[in-house]
């Protein structure tokens, strides 16, 4: 198959490990929701229209937009709708495994609790009808059966996407609220919740506030990923490294000593190129720390962060890496496949994903590519 690099980056199977639900809303849906609330007099549509349409937002503007998202998506029905659409959009990008993260929210006016918010998310996963969605922990046997049926038995091919959920703690939350999220994650382990994320405006909140909840999650055996180093805060970055989470997002503002520690600890990094450039964490893709970590063979995975907010897609993030750093098709497929090692799902899912990649390698014509160690 003779595909150009952009088509190649779209065609290869991909694994998304850092995507926020509300940051992944389609622009068209956002405009529609804003218009609807404008008509009801909840917001002034003209005031928010330009924010929705704006390109190249700064970090404070992104958090302004997040506040808008949270006004627009405060009822169960909308949460269900955006979840469905987000999953369909990732599947259309040939994402075969998506770890979708979201902050469970309370909204008394709408009778919403953190639990009912998550139920609305699950309803969204259940309502996807354009692709097969696997989100409850599945046995290896089921995985293998589906891998075979979609690839070799000549049946009508239907896309399949594995979904796992991460519950986010927002840095605005209290220790008590964060604890509630951990308990909910434990309760929802059988509904595809595989871990915890710490996110939110990086200049708000203290590490000490979240630490008890994160320790509680660790004690429960829940894997953790942390937004780290979005702003230069040495004390916090060092405390996060000391905590030794399973993965870290961003890691932009580290000093030499912290880079050394990150590398020696081999903490896998969720790389979000467009997000970091748009929010001015790095001057350009060319100067992104991806290249240093990649050359050092540090574990990493390309992610979108907020494809809606930053007008990107996972295919586009792969393409940016390929053209900026001169990587070839085989390199890109290997990079995508390496992400299997960092998913929070069980070994049955990892085995299934390995087979998906081997099948893709055959289908896309890279039979002689050497095996990833
Ligand atoms: P939600 O958790 O589904 O509501 O997704 C949106 C939320 O994700 C935002 O309100 C932030 O708390 C968080 N978030 C998204 N992108 C970023 C980022 O780049 N840095 C920190 N937090 C983020
Ligand atoms: Zn993020």
Domain ranges of the chain: 5-21+73-363
Q: Residue 153 above 60 pLDDT?
A: no
The answer to whether 196 and 104 are in contact (CB under 8 A) is no
Taking the centre of ligand 1 as the mean of its atom positions, its distance from the CA of residue 358, in whole angstroms, is 34
CA of 275, closest atom in ligand 1: 19
Q: How confident is the model at residue 151 (pLDDT cuts 50, 70, 90)?
A: very low
Q: Average pLDDT, stretch 286-299?
A: 98
The pLDDT of residue 215 = 98
Q: Which residue has a Cα nearest atom 10 of ligand 1?
A: 66
Q: Residue 150 above 60 pLDDT?
A: no
Task: Read off the tokens for 91.
Answer: 């599947």
Taking the centre of ligand 1 as the mean of its atom positions, its distance from the CA of residue 121, in whole angstroms, is 16
The pLDDT of residue 169 = 98
Q: Residue 301 above 50 pLDDT?
A: yes
Kindly state the greatest CA–CA separation across the chain: 61
Q: Residue 178 above 50 pLDDT?
A: yes
The pLDDT of residue 17 = 99
Q: Average pLDDT, stretch 86-105?
A: 98
Task: Supply the mean pLDDT for the chain.
Answer: 91
Q: Which among 89, 58, 113 has a CA at the least distance from the CA of 314?
A: 89
Ligand nearest to the CA of 201: 1
Neighbours of 156 (CB within 10 A): 5
Q: Residue 102 above 80 pLDDT?
A: yes
The pLDDT of residue 64 = 74
The pLDDT of residue 79 = 97
Q: Which residue has a Cα nearest atom 11 of ligand 1?
A: 200
CATH topology of domain 5-21+73-363: TIM Barrel (3.20.20)
The better pLDDT of the pair 152, 90 is held by: 90
The answer to whether 180 and 114 are in contact (CB under 8 A) is yes
| Residue 199 in contact with ligand 1 by CB distance below 6 A | yes
Q: Residue 252 above 50 pLDDT?
A: yes
The pLDDT of residue 59 = 72
Taking the centre of ligand 1 as the mean of its atom positions, its distance from the CA of residue 364, in whole angstroms, is 35
Q: Which residue has a Cα nearest atom 17 of ligand 1?
A: 200
| Residue 289 in contact with ligand 1 by CB distance below 6 A | no
The answer to whether 13 and 96 are in contact (CB under 8 A) is yes
CA of 67, closest atom in ligand 1: 10
The answer to whether 13 and 315 are in contact (CB under 8 A) is no
Q: Which residue has a Cα nearest atom 12 of ligand 1?
A: 200
Q: Average pLDDT, stretch 246-273?
A: 98
Query: Is-catalytic flag, 141?
Result: no
- Which residue in the list 230, 236, 270, 317 is annotated as catalytic? 230
CA of 105, closest atom in ligand 1: 4
| Residue 306 in contact with ligand 1 by CB distance below 6 A | yes
Q: Average pLDDT, stretch 23-51?
A: 90
The pLDDT of residue 373 = 36
The pLDDT of residue 156 = 54
* Strand locations in the chain (E): 14-20, 95-102, 132-134, 160-170, 193-199, 224-228, 247-250, 269-271, 300-302
The better pLDDT of the pair 276, 3 is held by: 276
Taking the centre of ligand 2 as the mean of its atom positions, its distance from the CA of residue 226, in whole angstroms, is 9
The pLDDT of residue 163 = 97
Q: Average pLDDT, stretch 256-276?
A: 98
């Amino acid at each position: 198959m003779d595909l150009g690099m952009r088509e190649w980056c779209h065609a290869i199977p991909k694994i998304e490990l850092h995507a926020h639900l509300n940051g992944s809303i389609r622009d068209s849906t956002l405009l529609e929701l804003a218009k609807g609330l404008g008509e009801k007099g909840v917001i002034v549509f003209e005031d928010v229209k330009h924010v929705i349409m704006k390109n190249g937002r700064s970090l404070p503007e992104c958090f302004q937009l997040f506040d808008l998202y949270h006004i627009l998506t405060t009822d169960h029905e909308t949460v269900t709708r955006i979840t469905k659409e987000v999953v369909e959009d990732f599947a259309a990008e040939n994402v075969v495994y998506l770890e979708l993260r979201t902050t469970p929210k309370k909204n008394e006016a709408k009778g919403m609790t953190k639990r009912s918010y998550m139920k609305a998310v699950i309803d969204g996963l259940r309502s996807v009808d354009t692709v097969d969605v696997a989100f409850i922990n599945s046995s290896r046997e089921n995985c293998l059966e589906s891998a075979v049926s979609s690839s070799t038995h000549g049946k009508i091919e239907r896309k399949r996407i594995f979904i796992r959920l991460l519950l986010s703690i927002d840095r605005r939350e209290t220790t008590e609220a964060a604890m509630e999220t951990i308990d909910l994650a434990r309760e929802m382990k059988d509904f595809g919740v595989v871990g915890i994320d710490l996110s939110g405006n990086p200049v708000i909140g203290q590490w000490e506030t979240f630490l008890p909840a994160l320790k509680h999650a660790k004690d429960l055996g829940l894997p953790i990923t942390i937004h780290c180093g979005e702003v230069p805060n040495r004390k916090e970055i060092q405390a996060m490294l000391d905590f030794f989470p399973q993965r870290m997002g961003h890691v932009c503002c580290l000093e030499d000593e912290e880079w050394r520690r990150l590398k020696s600890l081999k903490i896998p990094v969720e790389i979000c190129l467009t997000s970091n450039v748009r929010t001015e964490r790095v001057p350009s893709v060319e100067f992104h720390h991806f290249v240093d970590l990649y050359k050092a063979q540090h574990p990493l995975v390309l992610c979108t962060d907020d494809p809606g907010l930053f007008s990107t897609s996972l295919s586009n993030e792969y393409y940016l890496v390929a053209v900026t750093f001169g990587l070839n098709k085989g390199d890109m497929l290997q990079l995508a496949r390496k992400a299997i090692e960092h998913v929070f799902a069980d070994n049955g899912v990892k085995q299934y994903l390995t087979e998906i990649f081997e099948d893709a390698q055959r289908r896309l014509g890279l039979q002689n590519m050497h095996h990833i160690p």
